[in-house]
Structure formats: structure tokens, C-alpha cells
Amino acid sequence: MEDLSLSVKNLNKYFYEPQTFHVLKDISFDIKKGEFLALTGKSGSGKSTLLYILSTMDTAYDGSLTINGEVLTGKPQNELAAFRNEHIGFVFQFHYLLPEFSALDNVMLPALKLEKRPVEEIKEKALENLKLLGIEDQALKSASKLSGGQQQRVAIARALINEPAIIMGDEPTGNLDSKNTRIVFDIFRELAAERGQTIIAVTHDDDFADNCDRTLELMDGKLIFQ
Amino acid sequence: MRVSKTNYKIANAHLTSRLKQTLVAILSVTFGISMYIFMNSFMTGVNDTQTGLAFSTLAHIRIYNDIPKDNTDLFAGHVDENTLVNVRNPKVIQYTDGIKNSAKILNMLDTIPEINGITPQLNINVFFRNGATKVNGMLSGIDVVNEDKLFGTSQYVIEGDWMELNRRSDGILLGSGLAKKLSLNLNDNVVVLTEEGITKNYKVIGIVETTLASVDNTKAYIRIGFARQLISKNMGYVTDIQINLDDYSHTQELSKTLGKMTKYKVEPWQEANGQLEAANKLRNIIAIAVSLTILIVAGFGIYNIMNMTVNEKIREIAILKAMGFDGKDIIQIFLTQSVIIGILGGIVGIVLGYLVSLLVNHIPFKIASLETLPITYRTSDYIMAFFFGLITTFIAGYLPSKKASQVDPVEIIRG
């Protein structure tokens, strides 16, 4: 059990608007630490819905969710927020940086929120992350002035800042060209292999999915390939 | 509530990235607070002027010998109900009027620390005559120095000299309207005729104009000693003792204590001049109502702007929540913005309020004894304005912040 990163049991999810709809049907699976996992499926299959439940942001579901041995189902919102801050890094399809801040500030933000390290150390670490992603020269530029690929890499650097146990991506390469997709993929690969961080990415990109350690495919709310 | 540095940084970034909106919000607070200050300073100014004017003839407390109480039912309480009493046409045959031994009361009053000034008066109803013209009026025998200390009468002397009263035994000061009615000028002679039929000749050594017609048209001043001589009364005789306190709003309590110490009627100014107090209070209510309305309107302005900000930043709020910022952090971020707006607007508003008051204070307004529009500068108005401004911005900022904190990140991020 100890090397389990994330575990889901009997997960059911319904949408009630505009009419009752059973989105996720009795889903159970485990993910090991350091695993690089792709979540695929046609649009409407419920893969994003599943990811947001795994991310602890969506709490309206039946079943149970355990991350790093901690049962998160039923915890209050504020506790979940603190948990996300420390243990989960998030990369979205649309980069969602804070446009008023520089790239560096955006990267530092989750660590400043966590308040576990001094600001100087956080800054150093943020620059290191930007370097890892090859955009350290853009550090002081305002986030709104970066190109799409650069913004996405800043978002990844931000997701890594607190060295989270799990990094989740909702189509993290959906907006990138093949060159940038390659770069992002390689970074994920490296993080999983070298740092033992678990990666869960929702993707449409078959190429991306094929190169992962494992693929979970959803169809009509059911897990069909594991 | 401690605002974390990170939240403050985000709040600050939001404020500075929309400088124009922030400025508009600050301006609305500035306007509200400065108007609050101006309205209250102006109303207080008007009240103070009005009160000052009233107290130019009215003392804070007046002690006098009231005419005997209602004596139409002489046997009330003395006979039981089974006894029939018939008294026809009862008359009061003797009562003392005025205060015979004023020295005793004056000495007693001297020991009370709240009292700021005391002056005895001897007021007599007389006729003033100049040739064939005869005018009914009030001759006021006064203590020259103390009368001036209480009422500042010397500053209303438009011709002649107040202190001349102390130097001439036959000197009299006339109200300007009275002098006009009698066709009298400075240094003319006037004849005073008392109820008892005594006449005496006086020389006009001054004309007084208080702008209160009731005073100017009827009143004349002589020294109290000569007034006593005129009606053949002894040394200690006075009709009124006028008292001023350090603070004219504290008369009620002191009147009660004085009432117990003397058998004479003790009358605070509120009793003698109720409409003055009513007018003051009504003006204060208007000032507060108007200025609070302005502040509330300013509050709506901030509410509107903060709501817009929250809607504009809704994706950022979602992302902050995804990164682990909780509802409290989001409230802090947006509340900090409105509090900063409130504080900045408050400081500028205080300065602007002072400047507007200063400006209005210089607008000429030459009616009655006024030269310019009256303004009273009170620190408490400024503190209250700042305080109310902060409360308004806090409430106006809290509601949108609360809304922001309840944003569901999943809904926003999934689109």
C-alpha cells in the first residue's frame, strides 16, 4: 500500500442540470508513486470530470478518494485547499497565469502561500524551475507578454514549485505546437522518473498517451481500458 | 484578521493594474467623506452662530422670583371632601417680588466650579419719554463688568462706550430701535418714568444693536446701583441672577441642584427658549441624514466597482483556488483592496473636506451679525467621517469578496 500515490474506490458522479445524468459510473483504480498516467477518452466521456474529482476541487461525488494514504473524501473545503497547495500541482489547458505578475512571481505564488520556506529560497527555486523549462530569460517579463508555449511552461514551473506528490494536467499540451508538446512531455517524463512525482494528464493526443507508463480510457463514464 | 503578505501582494497588483477604476473608487469615498465633513462642520457652524446669537441676551441659567403659584383653590389639601368651602373673589394681598438678599445666593454660586460667570440684574418695566413721545420698555440695571463678561454686550455698542456706564451716574445705553422710536441720538437726554410714578432724567451715552429686534426695540441699560435708587430698593435687591456655565449643554443637571439650594425659580435656557434647542437638534439630524446618504451612495459605488473586479478576475480567482488559496484568502484579497480604497479615499476626503469648509467659510454672508457663512472645525467630525467611510467601504467590499470566495473553480476552469 505504501507506494500507492492515489486510490479511487467506487466513484460515482451525477450531473443534475439540465437533467440527471450519470457521468462517472463506479470507477475504481490505483496509481503508484512515480507513475506517468494518461487519462483518455472521447469528449463527454467524463475524463475531465474525473480529473477534477482527483484534484479535490470537485467534492460532489459518491465513493472515496485517497491520496498519499490520506482519505480526502468528506474533508472541508479549506482543508482541501491547503492539501492542494502542498501536494498537488496543476497545469491547465489554458495557462491561467496572473497577468499582473511577472513569470517569476507567478511561479513563486503557491510557495508563498504555503509559507514553509523563506522568500529568498523560494525565489531561487522558482528560477531553477524556470531554467529547467528553458525560460529563465523570461523570468521578469509580465506573464501577459509571454507566448502561449512560454506561458504553459511558466504554468508547469508553477505547478512544480512546492514539489508536489502529484502533478495533474488537463490537456497540458492541448494548446501547444508539436515542438513545445515534445518539450513538455519530456519534462513530465523526467519528473516521474527522476523525482518520483506522479503525473496524471488528461489528453486527446494519442502520441502523448502512447508514450505514458499507463493509459486509463473512459467511455460513457466507465473505465474500459486499464 | 492578519492579511498575509502574498494576499496583500495580489490585492495590490489588482489595484494598480486597474488604476483608473481604483481612482474612481477612491474618488467616490473621497467625495462621501469630504461631504460628510463639510455638512457637519457647516451645520455645527450654523448651530454655534445661532446659539451664540441667542446667548447674547440669554444666560444659560436664570434665577428669579416667580410670581406666586396658582392660588385659585386656597383650601386644596387642607379640608376633607365632605366639607364645603366657599371663598369668593380671593386675592393675594402680599408677596415679595425680586430677590431681596442676593449676596447670599451670589456667594453660594461662587463656590460652584462649573459656573463661568454670574451677573445680577434689576429689570424694571418703565416708560421712556422724549418730549411727547412715550415708549414702553425695559430698563435693565446691570453690573457693567459681569454683564459684558456673560453677554459680550460691549461688542454690540455701535455708538458711545459701554464702560462709560461705570463713570457716569446719569448715563444710559439705549437699544438702537428704542433710540430711533424716541428720536434720540448720542448725548441727548431721555426721561424714565417708573410704575410708581418716579421720573428721572438720563443722558444717552451709548447705542446698542444686537440685531435681535425684541431687544433693540425695548431695552435700555443703566448701572444696577442707580436702578436700585430709582425704585427705592436696598443694596442686595435684584430681580434676576444670570449664570453662564463652561458648557451650555450641561444646564439641566446643575439647574436641578441649584433648585434644591434656593427657594427661587431656577430656569435653564432650554426651558426659556425651547425652539432654539429644537432647531439645533433638527439641523443636526438633517446633517447626519444627508451626509450618511452621501456615504451610502459612495458605498454603492465601491460595491459596484468591486463587483466588476470580481467578475473580471473570476478566472484568476478559480486558478488561485486550484493552487490552494482558500475562501478566507480570497476574501482577504478583495477586502484588502476595498479597505485600501477606503483609507486612501478617507485621507484625501479629510483634506478635501477641510478645504471645502475653508472655502465656504470665506463666502460672504452679511446678514444679522454674520460676515461669512459659518463653519465650526471639530476634530470629532473628521474622525467620525473617516470611521464611517471605513465602515462603508468595508461593508461594500465584503459582499463582493464573499461572492468571490464562493466561486467554484471547477465550473470556471472547465468553462
**More confident site: B249 or A111:** A111
Which residues in chain B are contacts of A122 at CB distance < 8 A?
Answer: none
CA distance B253 to B233: 33
CA distance B388 to B408: 33
ipTM of the complex in this document = 0.88
Confidence of residue A226 (pLDDT cuts 50, 70, 90): low
Instruction: Take residue A62 and report the three cell numbers written for it.
Output: 459518491
Q: Tell me if A81 and B409 make a contact (CB, 8 A cut-off).
A: no
Which residues in chain B are contacts of A114 at CB distance < 8 A?
Answer: 324
Compute the nearest-CA separation of B328 from chain A (Å): 8
**CB-facing half-sphere around the CA of A161: CA atoms within 13 A:** 36
Residues in chain A: 226
Q: In the prediction, which pLDDT does B2 show?
A: 67
Flag whether B355 is in a domain.
yes
Contact, B396 vs B299, CB < 8 A? yes
Flag whether B238 is in a domain.
yes
Flag whether B195 is in a domain.
yes
Residues B396 and B369 in one domain: yes
For chain A, list residues whose CB is within 8 angstroms of any CB belonging to chain B: 48, 52, 55, 57-58, 77-78, 81-86, 88, 90, 92, 96-101, 105, 109-110, 112-115, 158, 170
Q: Tell me if A101 and B13 make a contact (CB, 8 A cut-off).
A: yes
pTM of the model: 0.76
Which of B318, B326, B413 has the CB atom closest to A78's CB atom? B326
Compute the nearest-CA separation of A112 from chain B (Å): 6
As a three-state string, the secondary structure of A126-171 is HHHHHHHCCCHHHCCCEHHHCCHHHHHHHHHHHHHCCCCCEEEEEC
Comparing CA positions, the residue from B26, B7, B40 lying closest to residue B290 is B40
Compute the nearest-CA separation of B323 from chain A (Å): 5
Which residues in chain A are contacts of B406 at CB distance < 8 A?
Answer: none
The total number of structural domains that make up chain B: 2
Q: Mark B114-131 as b/e (b = at least 16 C-beta within 10 Å).
A: ebebbbbbbbbebebbbe
Residues B257 and B285 in one domain: no
Give the residue on B whose Cα is nearest the Cα of A56: B322
Which residues in chain A are contacts of B9 at CB distance < 8 A?
Answer: 105, 112
Comparing CA positions, the residue from B239, B249, B397, B386 lying closest to residue B332 is B397
Q: Tell me if B328 and A110 make a contact (CB, 8 A cut-off).
A: no
Q: Of B242, B272, B302, which residue constitutes the final position of a domain?
A: B272
Which residues in chain B are contacts of A86 at CB distance < 8 A?
Answer: 324
Instruction: Take residue B357 and report the three cell numbers written for it.
Output: 469648509
CA distance B390 to A131: 45
Q: In the prediction, which pLDDT does A225 show?
A: 65
pLDDT digit of tens for each residue in chain B (415 aa)?
A: 567 888 888 888 888 888 888 998 899 899 989 999 999 999 999 988 888 778 877 888 999 888 777 666 777 777 787 888 887 887 777 667 788 888 888 888 888 888 888 999 999 999 999 988 899 999 999 999 998 888 888 888 998 989 888 888 889 999 999 999 999 999 999 999 998 889 999 999 999 988 788 888 999 999 999 999 998 888 889 999 999 888 887 888 888 888 888 888 898 888 888 888 888 889 889 988 988 888 888 888 889 888 988 998 888 898 888 888 888 999 999 999 999 999 999 999 999 999 999 999 999 988 767 789 999 999 999 999 999 889 999 999 999 999 999 888 888 877 6
Flag whether B84 is in a domain.
no
Residues B245 and B267 in one domain: yes
Contact, B124 vs B227, CB < 8 A? yes
Burial class (CB in 10 A: 0-12, 13-18, 19+), A206: exposed
Residues B298 and B400 in one domain: yes
Compute the nearest-CA separation of A52 from chain B (Å): 7
Give the residue on A whose Cα is nearest the Cα of B3: A113
As a three-state string, the secondary structure of B226-269 is HHHHHCCCCCCCECEEEEEECCHHHHHHHHHHHHHHCCCEEEEH
The boundaries of the domain holding residue B344 are 5-54+277-414
Instruction: Take residue B48 and report the three cell numbers written for it.
Output: 454655534
Q: Of B272, B292, B314, which residue constitutes the final position of a domain?
A: B272
Which amino acid, residue A30? D
Which residues in chain B are contacts of A17 at CB distance < 8 A?
Answer: none
Which residues in chain A are contacts of B413 at CB distance < 8 A?
Answer: 52, 92, 96, 170
DSSP class per residue in B80-148: -TTS-----S--------SBS-HHHHHHHHHT-TTEEEEEEEEEEEEEEEETTEEEEEEEEEE-HHHHH
Domains annotated for chain A, with CATH where assigned, are 34-61+72-225 (3.40.50.300)
Give the residue on B whose Cα is nearest the Cα of A86: B324
Q: Of B272, B289, B323, which residue constitutes the final position of a domain?
A: B272
Q: In the prediction, which pLDDT does A1 show?
A: 46
Confidence of residue A174 (pLDDT cuts 50, 70, 90): confident
